[in-house]
Chains A and B, each alone.
Chain A
Amino acid sequence: MTQVIYYEDVNVGDAMPELVKGPLQKLQHVMYAGASGDFNPLHTDDDFAKAVGMKDGVIAHGMLIMGIVGQAITGWIPRKDLKKFGVRFAGMTKPGNTISVTGSVTDKRVDDGKNIIVCEVAAKDENGDVKVTGTFEAALPSKA
């Protein structure tokens, strides 16, 4: 099944489908370290993490949470239509957190012949604490 979303079918204020993942496991930090090449022990070694002030031990890679936001985006908008994606890392994610990614369309414009939608996204944990906020832009096909 080919995933297509047309510019005309997306409106300012529309919500993107919510993605909920968790509870996150320490094992995922190990997998992400190996896949990404980010071996900072803050994410995989509880003793190290405690020694640098994280009283509960390891925290997730921020880029893992950005990756989960990316999963939410390209689960909705085709990967090939995604043109820009940026985040600000706002809070630390711990093992056991369940992450919810939500977003909505904030703007639509035709720019240089391209049909651009602009969306804001956020990832929060089960307590509503914000981990990541960001925006993305996609160029969608038109029915015209």
Chain B
Amino acid sequence: MADLSKVGTEYSPITWEVERGKIRELAKAIGDPNPIYLDKDAAVAEGYEDTPVSPTFLTVPMMWADKMPAVINDLKINFMMVLHGEEEYEYYQPIYPGDVITGTPKVTKMEEKTSKSGSKMDMVTMEVVYTNQRGEKVAKARSLLVERK
């Protein structure tokens, strides 16, 4: 059961160097043939500085930095009972290979809800605002985790 007193908790920052190969790998795994994610020349021809990150790329630092499991543990959420309810991104500036992005995960909302069938769930909202190496705000990620009880 999630520890609802943890609302407002900020975790140590994630710092992540964005690599062209990882951008390509994620696009390949999704099966997205859009050449802007796969090939620098194609991206430049479309008006980008380099291969931009695809819309869901920010899941990569969150998962590979082992941040999500650590947060789930700290919030005392049962890993076996957690579902990903929602995910939302806001994009402020492009993110390109070589950028070093930093984001501080913050628990912005925790509440218990009762479903129509009467079962109880804890709803946990986490936000991460990412800045780049120039201090520019580049994106925001918001995740809603649902723990069934």
Contacts and interface: CB of A to CB of B under 8 A. Distances in A.
Tell me whether A and B are bound partners: yes
Interface of A: 2-3, 21, 28, 31-32, 34-38, 52, 62-64, 66-68, 70-71, 73-75, 78-80, 82-89
Given A2-B46, A36-B29, A82-B91, A74 B54 contact: yes
Given A2-B47, A83-B90, A70 B31 contact: no
- Scoring B32, B36, B80, B83 by chain A CB atoms within 10 A of each residue's CB, the highest score goes to B32
Interface in B42-83: 45-48, 52, 54-56, 59-60, 62-65, 80, 83
Q: Top 4 closest A-B pairs, CB basis? A: A86-B88, A37-B63, A37-B64, A70-B55
Contact of B59 (A36, A80, A86): A36
B28 interface: yes
A70 B80 contact: no
Contacts, number: 112
Contacts of B22: 35
Given A70-B30, A71-B32, A80-B48, A85 B63 contact: no
B63 A36 contact: yes
Contacts of A79: 34, 36, 48, 52, 54-55
B54 A89 contact: no
A110 B91 CA distance: 18
A87 B56 CA distance: 11
Contacts of B62: 37
25 contacts: A2-B47, A28-B29, A32-B29, A35-B30, A37-B62, A37-B64, A37-B65, A38-B59, A38-B63, A63-B56, A67-B54, A68-B30, A70-B54, A71-B32, A71-B34, A75-B34, A78-B46, A79-B34, A80-B47, A80-B48, A84-B89, A85-B55, A86-B87, A87-B88, A89-B83
